[in-house]
Every structure is written in structure tokens, then in C-alpha cells.
């Protein structure tokens, strides 16, 4: 059977990093170069409920979509701040021409505006000026442990969850993960 790019065939291997369908037996993802050579990945300990949940439950179990705010690169900081404060959120995704190009968190506002110069007018600064470009993201079918690992190694608190076409689904935080684990333990 011939491989059809972007379509799932019986022998396809889905990349755990970007979700691209690769031909079985390849060493790396053709789309993002993530290694597909991993073998003997750890499995959860039989009696460890937390470890089992982290390694087997997908990110889709913890997403709600309620935390999802999206702005454009040209939106002004004063407008973004007003909306974030009104909605009581701590970050916003930055999209331009239907593509994720950045993320802005409260930390970005503090580091790039508040700590620099008191004479900066937020009406003259755009999302592109303060965003963290090219943020890491996960797919909804990724294990929760994969998302937590990305947050820990990247040293960030928020992680976008994107559909295979790049459309935003949600934003998860470490707080969401801990809440989910807590709920799972009490059930």
C-alpha cells in the first residue's frame, strides 16, 4: 500500500511531538525531526495511580477550552491587558494568518514592559513586541506526562493545545494538571 502524505495508513506511526503520520520504520518524524527510534519507554508502575494517570491519560482529559484567549500580532498591549484582566486569565495565544506565532503571559508583561521603562505607553506596543515567539505546544492525544515534561524543561507555566491543523483548542497549565490528578485520586 502506498503512503499518502497526511493520511493514516495501517503502517503509519504518529509522531508524539507534532502528530504527523510517518511511515513505519523511519528514524525521525519527516515533519519536525522528532526521534521515532525510542524503544523500551518506561511504563507506569502497577500500583502507582499517579504515574499511571500521567503516562496513559491524554491531555484531552484536562482541557476545557475555557482558558482560550487568542489575539493577533497587531493588537495593542493595553487592549490585551484589559481583556486578560476582565476575563481573569494569565495568558493569551498570538495568532497571525491562522498560525500560532507566540504566547503572552503575565510574566511577559512584567519582563518586557513593567520592568523596563515607566514611560512606555501600552497603546503604542503590540502583541508582537512582547510575545514569546514560537511557543511549544501539544496535541490533545499526547500523554499528560509529555505536556508536563515540556513545561518543566522549557520552564514555562502554560502550554497551548492545538489540533492537527494548528487551530487552538485550549491552554493547559501546571495548575490544571495538579487539579486533574487531585480529582482522579479522590474519585
How does pLDDT run across 164-183, given as a tens digit for each residue? 999 999 999 999 999 998 88
3-state secondary structure 105-147: EHHHHHHHHHCCCCCCCHHHCEHHHHCEECCCCECCCCEHHHH
Residue ranges of domains in the chain: 7-41, 59-186
pLDDT tens column, 145-163: 999 999 999 999 999 999 9
Q: What is the mean pLDDT of the chain?
A: 84
Q: Say how far apart CA 171 and CA 93 lie, in whole Å.
A: 8
pLDDT tens column, 78-93: 999 999 999 999 999 9
Helix axes 144-154, 174-186, angle to 10 degrees: 140
Q: How many residues does the chain have?
A: 187
Residues in CB range of 152: below 8 A, 6 or more apart:
none
- What's the CATH superfamily of 59-186? CBS-domain (3.10.580.10)
Give residue 11's pLDDT band: very low, low, confident or very high (50, 70, 90): low
pLDDT tens column, 15-30: 877 888 889 888 888 8
Amino acid at each position: 500500500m502506498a503512503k499518502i502524505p497526511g493520511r493514516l495508513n495501517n503502517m503509519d506511526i504518529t509522531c508524539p511531538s507534532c502528530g504527523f503520520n510517518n511511515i513505519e520504520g523511519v528514524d525521525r518524524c519527516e515533519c519536525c525531526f522528532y526521534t521515532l527510534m525510542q524503544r523500551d519507554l518506561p511504563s507506569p508502575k502497577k500500583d502507582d495511580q499517579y504515574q499511571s494517570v500521567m503516562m496513559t491519560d491524554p491531555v484531552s482529559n484536562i482541557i476545557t477550552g475555557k482558558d482560550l484567549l487568542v489575539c493577533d500580532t497587531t493588537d495593542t498591549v493595553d487592549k490585551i491587558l484589559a481583556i486578560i484582566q476582565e476575563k481573569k486569565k494569565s495568558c493569551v495565544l498570538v495568532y497571525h494568518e491562522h498560525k500560532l506565532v507566540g504566547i503572552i503571559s503575565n510574566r511577559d508583561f512584567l519582563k518586557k514592559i513593567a520592568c523596563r521603562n515607566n514611560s512606555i505607553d501600552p497603546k503604542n506596543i503590540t502583541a508582537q513586541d512582547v510575545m514569546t515567539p514560537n511557543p511549544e505546544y501539544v496535541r490533545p492525544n499526547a500523554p499528560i506526562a509529555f505536556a508536563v515534561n515540556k513545561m518543566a524543561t522549557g520552564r514555562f507555566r502554560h502550554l497551548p493545545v492545538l489540533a492537527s491543523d494548528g487551530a487552538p483548542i485550549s491552554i493547559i497549565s501546571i495548575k490544571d494538571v495538579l487539579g486533574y490528578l487531585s480529582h482522579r485520586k479522590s474519585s
